[in-house]
Chain A
Amino acid sequence: DAKTTQPNSMESNEEEPVHLPCNHSTISGTDYIHWYRQLPSQGPEYVIHGLTSNVNNRMASLAIAEDRKSSTLILHRATLRDAAVYYCILRNTIQGAQKLVFGQGTRLTINP
């Protein structure tokens, strides 16, 4: 699985947008970009995924660079409940790998 690089930690204020970056310079053409997050004392949960185009869902937006070597998870209006560790993961949907390979992720702190 190709490697991703994320900042160890980020901090933001409640009700402000948050942009969580992820670098994946060795991404292959068949790798999808997935984001999971892990709230305190819980297991990880799926947030969003994309291939080339920007994606939106009820939880977040995913902006993917044109060369696909980086992406940004956007929380449009952070709440205290968004404080979590956010993981950016590449998944190759052709090779059939079933496991998720988690890096260290970004620990997001939200200030009231």
Chain B
Amino acid sequence: DVKVTQSSRYLVKRTGEKVFLECVQDMDHENMFWYRQDPGLGLRLIYFSYDVKMKEKGDIPEGYSVSREKKERFSLILESASTNQTSMYLCASSFPRTSRHVHNEQFFGPGTRLTVL
């Protein structure tokens, strides 16, 4: 079974702190994604990566950066946390869309609920 794990289920940080959210997948997926989920706004894509050291901005990248140094690991970084970044953060991974994986379903981790005070 595919497994996507996230470093913490719950995290509390203070405004201005640097925050690292870690995600690891064990299926050798090339694609990895970071979403945030907020009531009334659904899931929104922050960043994604389609290969090691490659990254692409999603719909709401402001205030975030990412790092993909190894294929299995994708980190989301909040350089200076703010209260409006209090949210549920979800990591996902998938194969790239190819003739073999046309529908490249995404596999999600359990999420990290981040509270910024």
Q: Chain A: residues with CB nearer than 8 A to chain B?
A: 32, 34, 41-46, 49, 91, 93, 96, 98-100, 102-105
Q: Which secondary structure dominates chain A's binding surface?
A: loop
Known: A41-B110, A43-B92, A104-B42. A93 touches B48 (CB 8 A): no
B108 & A45 in contact (Cβ 8 Å cutoff):
yes
Residues of B contacting A43 in the complex (Cβ-Cβ under 8 angstroms): 4, 90-92, 108-111
Cβ of A14 to closest chain B Cβ, rounded Å: 25
How many residues belonging to B are interface residues under a CB distance threshold of 8 Å?
27
**B53 within 8 Å of A (CB atoms):** no
**A93 — which chain B residues lie within 8 A by C-beta?**
97, 102-103
Would you call A34 and B103 a contact (CB within 8 A)?
A: yes
B88 to chain A, nearest CB (A): 9
Residues B86-106 near A (CB distance < 8 A): 90-92, 94, 96-97, 102-106
Q: Is the CB of A46 within 8 A of B105?
A: yes
Min CB gap B28→A, angstroms = 17
Q: How far is the CA of A43 from the CA of B108 in the complex (A)?
A: 5
Task: A98-B96, A99-B48, A105-B42 are known; give 16 further A-B pairs, CB within 8 A.
Answer: A32-B103, A41-B110, A42-B111, A43-B90, A43-B91, A44-B43, A44-B92, A44-B106, A44-B108, A45-B108, A93-B97, A98-B48, A99-B45, A100-B43, A100-B92, A103-B42
